[in-house]
Structure 1
Amino acid sequence: MQIQLFKGQFGSREAAELITRLIHVKIKYHEEKIQKDSAEEDIKMREARIRELQKDLYEVRRYIEQQGGYLSLQSDIQLV
C-alpha cells in the first residue's frame, strides 16, 4: 500500500515550512518515546536519530535557500 503525502511545485518558503514540520513531528515522536522508554540502549538510539534528523533539517534548509524559487517535492509512504 502506498500513501502520497504531497507531490508538486512549492515555493522555497512553503517547501522549507512543510519539510520542517514533518521533521519536527518525527523528532517529537522520538522525544516522547525517550520519556517512556527505560532501556538505555533504546534511548541512545533515539537520541542519535534526533541528532541525525536535526542535521538533515539544517542541510535541507541550506539547500532550499541556495535554490530559491520553486522546488518539486514528492513524498510517499510505502507500507510493505
Structure 2
Amino acid sequence: MDITVAKGIFSSKDAEELITQIIHIKIKYHEMKASAGRYDSRIVKMREKQIIQLQKDLFEFQRYIQHNPDKIYLNAGIEIIGYEAQN
C-alpha cells in the first residue's frame, strides 16, 4: 500500500515548510519514544542517532532550497509493507 504525502510542484518556501514539518513530526516521535522509559539505553541511543540524522538531513535540505530555483518538485510518499511479507 502506498500513500502519497506530497506530489507536485511547490514554491521553495512551501516545500521547505512542508518537509520541515514532516521531519519535526518524526523527531518528536523519536523523542517521545526515547523518553517513555520503556526502553534500555541501547534503544534510546539508537533513537538519539536517528534524531541527529534527521536534523542533518533537514539542514542539508534547507541548504539545497536556498541555492535552487523558486519551484521544487516533491514526490514524497509512504510505502507500507507488512513485516511478515519482508521475511
Q: Please give the TM-score of this superposition, normalised by the length of structure 2.
A: 0.88
CA distance in 2, matches of 1:21, 1:68: 21
Pairing of 1:5-44 with structure 2 (within 5 A) = 5-36=5-36, 37-44=38-45
Question: Which of 31-40 and 48-57 deviates more?
Answer: 31-40
SS in 2 for 1:64: helix
Deviation at 1:6, TM superposition (A): 1.2
Counting aligned pairs with the same residue, the percent is 45
Q: Please give the TM-score of this superposition, normalised by the length of structure 1.
A: 0.96
Runs (4+) of structure 1 exceeding 4 A deviation are none
CA distance in 2, matches of 1:5, 1:63: 20
Q: Let me know the Cα RMSD of the aligned residues.
A: 0.8
Deviation at 1:65, TM superposition (A): 0.7
Q: What stretches of structure 2 of length at least 5 have no aligned partner?
A: 82-87
Question: Which of 34-43 and 22-31 deviates more?
Answer: 34-43
State the partner residue of 1:60: 61
CA distance in 2, matches of 1:60, 1:46: 21
Q: What stretches of structure 1 of length at least 5 have no aligned partner?
A: none
Question: Which of 68-77 and 16-25 deviates more?
Answer: 68-77
Deviation at 1:76, TM superposition (A): 1.3
State the partner residue of 2:47: 46
